[in-house]
Amino acid sequence: MKHFTWNFQHLFDNDNDPEIENQRKVVIKKSYDFINKWKNRKDYLRDPVMLRQALDEYERWKRSYGTDGKEGYYFWLRTSQDQNNPLLKAKHNNAENLSKKIENDIRFFYIRIAKISKRQQRHFLESPCLRPYKHFLERIFVESRFLLSEPEEKILNLKASPSYSNWVKMTSSFLSREMRTVILEDGNRDTLSFAEILSLMNSQNKKVRDTASKAFNDIMYQYVDVAESEINAILQNKKIDDELRKISRPDLTRHINDDIESEIVDTLVKTVSDRFDIPSQFYALKAKLLKVKLLKYHERNVELGNSNKKYAFRDSVKLVYHALRSLDSEFVEIFTRFINNGQFDVYPRKGKVSGAFCAHHLISQPTYILLNHTNKLRDVLTLAHELGHGINNELIKKKQHALHFGTPTSTAEVASTFMEDFVLQEILKKADDELKFSIMTTKLNDEVSTIFRQIACYRFEQELHQEFRLKCYLSKGDIGRLFQKHMSSYMGDSVEQSPGSENWWVYWSHIRSFFYVYSYASGLLISKSLQNSVKENPRFIKKVKEFLSAGLSDSPKAIFKKLGIDIANRSFWERGLTEIETLLKETITLSRKLGKIR
Ligand SMILES: [Zn+2]
C-alpha cells in the first residue's frame, strides 16, 4: 500500500493549484449556458422530445460540473482532513457561495416540471423517449402533489425556523450545556458533560453506571417541562402543515421523501413488532449474564465480555479481502482499486474529523473514504461498512446516469451493513470462544437497538401524533406513559421501566425528525434478508449486485420486484429476523458452554 492519505490527482495538485480558478470559470459557463438556454422557454413543458433534450443537457451538466464542480468536493474533503485551517475554510466557503447562487438560479427547471398539469404528467410518464428519466420524473410528480402555491410555500419555508427548528434547538442546547458530578471508572469523582454521562451508563461497573443514570435522570427531570412545551409546539406545527397540504397520515411525508410505499413500512413495522419476543429473550439473557433479576432501563446497553484484540490496518485489509473474495470478484477489484489509488485516509491526525464516512459527489468523480483506524475490532467493521458504501457507489456509477446516482434513505445502509456482517463472520472463524462471546453479544445488542428499539420508537411516534391530534395538548405525564408503554413492549419483562425513565423521550433527538427511525430497521433488515439468501445460495449475490447497482432508477419496491422479490410481503422481513434469532440462539449456547449462565 502506497498511500495512507487521499490522493487527489483526479481533482487538483494542491490547495493553490491555478487549475482551481480555471475549473471554476468552466462550471460558471456550463451552468449559465443551461440556465440561459432554457429559462425563458416553455416548449420542454409540453413536448416530450424537447423535455428529453433538456434532461439530457441537465444530466450532462450534473455529471461533470454540477453547482461546484471539482472545487466544492476538493475543499470539502480537505477541510475534513484539516478542520482548523482557516484558509481551507475560506476556500470552502467561497466554493459554497458560488454553489448556492447557481443552485438558486437553476431551480426554476425542477419547479416548472413539478408544476405541469396531471394530464401532462401522465403523457410524459408514458412517453418512450423519456423512459431513461421516468423515475426521476415520477418522484418530482409525487412530491408536487402536496405542494402548495409558490407564495404559500414561501411562507411555510419562512416560518419553519420559529415554529420548528428553534424549538428543537432550544431543548438540545439546554441539555448539552448540563454538567454533573459522577463517579468515574477509576473510582474518582469528576464533573462531566451530558454526552460523557450518557456513555458512562454503559459501564461494566455498576456503581459507575448507576451514579451516571441518577445524574442523567436529574437532567431529564429538570427539562421535562420545557420539552413538554417544545414537543407540543412541533406536533402542532406538523399538524398544521399536514392539514394545509392535505396529507392524510403523519408519516406519509417521510415515506414520500424516502421513495418507499406506506404499505411497505406498515408491513415492516407489523412484522418486527410481532417478533418482540426476540429482544425480550435477549434482555432476559443479559439479565442472567449480569446476574440480576431485572435490568434497570439504563442498563440495557451495558457491555458484556472483554475483547482487546488488536488489528493493525494491514490485518484489517486482509480480513476484508478474505470476506470479499468469498462473495464476488468485482467487490475485490473495487477494493483493490481504492487501496492502490489512495482513496482511503486511514489514521487519526490532529485536526482531522472524528468518525468515518464514505464520500461521493458528482458521478464522474472518485469515491473517498475517511477512517480513524485505531486497531480495534470496531475499526475493522468500520472499514467494511464504509467500503460497502463505496462498492455501492461504484456499482451505481457503472449502470446509472447522473440523475439516478444516489441511494434512497430507506436502503442507504444496506450495502454497508451487508459487508460489515460478512467481515464479522470472517473474524468469528478465527476467534476463540471468549472473543466470540464478546463480538456476538455486542452485535446482538446493536441489532436489537437498530431494529426492535427503532420500530418501538416508530410506533411511539405514531401514537404520539394521533393522541395529539385527538387531544390538542399532551402533558409530560401523557407523553411519559405512551413512551413507557412502547419501550416495555419490545424490552419485555426482564427490563424494569425504572423511575425516571418515563422522561427519556426528552433527549431522544430522532423523534423530532418525525418517523426517520424506521429507516435504521429497514436498511439493516433488508441487508439481513439478503445475507440469509446468499448463505443459502451463493449465486444469489448476482441479485444483490443488481439491487446495489439500481441507485435511484426506481423505488426499492419496484427494483426488488424486478429481481423476483416482494418486499411488501412479510416473509421477506421475516428472513432478516431469522438471522437475528439464530445469532441469539448461538449466543445462548455459547454462554452456557463458557459457564456464564446455567
Ligand atoms: Zn453507513
Q: 393 C-alpha to center of ligand 1: Å?
A: 12
Question: Measured on CA atoms in the order 454, 459, 460, 465, is the torsion positive or negative?
Answer: positive
pLDDT reported for residue 355 = 86
3-state SS assignment for residue 186:
coil
**pLDDT tens, the chain, 598 aa long:** 778 999 999 999 999 999 999 999 999 999 999 999 999 999 999 999 999 999 999 999 999 999 999 999 999 999 999 988 999 999 999 999 999 899 989 989 988 999 899 999 999 999 999 999 999 999 999 999 998 887 888 898 888 889 998 999 999 889 988 999 999 999 999 999 888 898 899 888 999 999 999 999 999 999 999 999 999 999 999 999 999 999 999 999 999 999 999 999 999 999 999 999 999 999 999 999 999 999 999 999 888 877 778 999 999 999 999 999 999 999 999 999 999 999 999 999 988 988 899 999 999 999 999 999 999 888 999 999 999 999 999 999 999 999 999 998 889 999 999 999 999 999 999 899 999 999 999 899 999 999 999 999 999 999 999 999 999 999 999 999 999 999 999 999 999 999 999 999 999 988 999 999 999 999 999 999 999 999 999 999 999 999 999 999 999 999 999 888 999 999 999 999 999 999 999 999 999 999 999 8
- Helix 454-471 to helix 518-536 angle (10° resolution) is 150
pTM: 0.89
CA of 358 to the centre of ligand 1 (A): 8
Distance from the alpha carbon of residue 83 to the mean position of ligand 1, in angstroms: 22
Q: Is residue 575 within 8 Å of 528, Cβ to Cβ?
A: yes
Identify the pLDDT of residue 430. Answer: 87
Helix 476-491 × helix 277-289 angle, to 10°: 80
- pLDDT tens digits for range 346-405: 999 988 988 899 999 999 999 999 999 999 888 999 999 999 999 999 999 999 999 999
> For residue 366, how far is its CA from the centre of ligand 1 (angstroms)?
18
**Distance from Cα 17 to the centre of ligand 1, integer Å:** 32
**Separation of alpha carbons 266 and 135, rounded Å:** 23
* Sign, Cα dihedral of 446, 195, 502, 290: positive
CA of 494 to the centre of ligand 1 (A): 31
Q: What is the C-alpha separation between 110 and 136, in angstroms, rounded?
A: 11
Cα(229) to centroid(ligand 1), Å: 34
| Phi-psi region at 313: left, alpha or beta (left = phi > 0; alpha = psi -120 to 50) | alpha
Integer Cα distance of 53 and 227 in angstroms: 52
Instruction: Report CA(53)–ligand 1 centroid distance (Å).
Output: 36
- For ligand 1, the distance from its centroid to the CA atom of residue 388, given in whole angstroms, is 8
First to last CA, the chain: 48
CA 523 / ligand 1 centre spacing (Å) = 10
Rg for the chain (alpha carbons), in Å? 25
CA of 415 to the centre of ligand 1 (A): 8
Cα 147 from Cα 143, distance rounded (Å) = 7
Euclidean distance between CA atoms 504 and 480, whole angstroms: 8
Give the distance (Å) from ligand 1 centre to CA of residue 489. 28
pLDDT in tens, 461-504: 999 999 999 999 999 999 999 999 999 999 999 999 999 999 99
Gap from CA of 552 to ligand 1 centroid (Å): 17
Question: Which residues are within 8 A (CB) of 480 and not within 5 positions of it... i.e. 6 or more apart?
Answer: 502, 503, 505
Grid cell in block for residue 186: 477509576
Residue 94's pLDDT is 94
* Calpha distance 436→325 (Å, rounded): 22
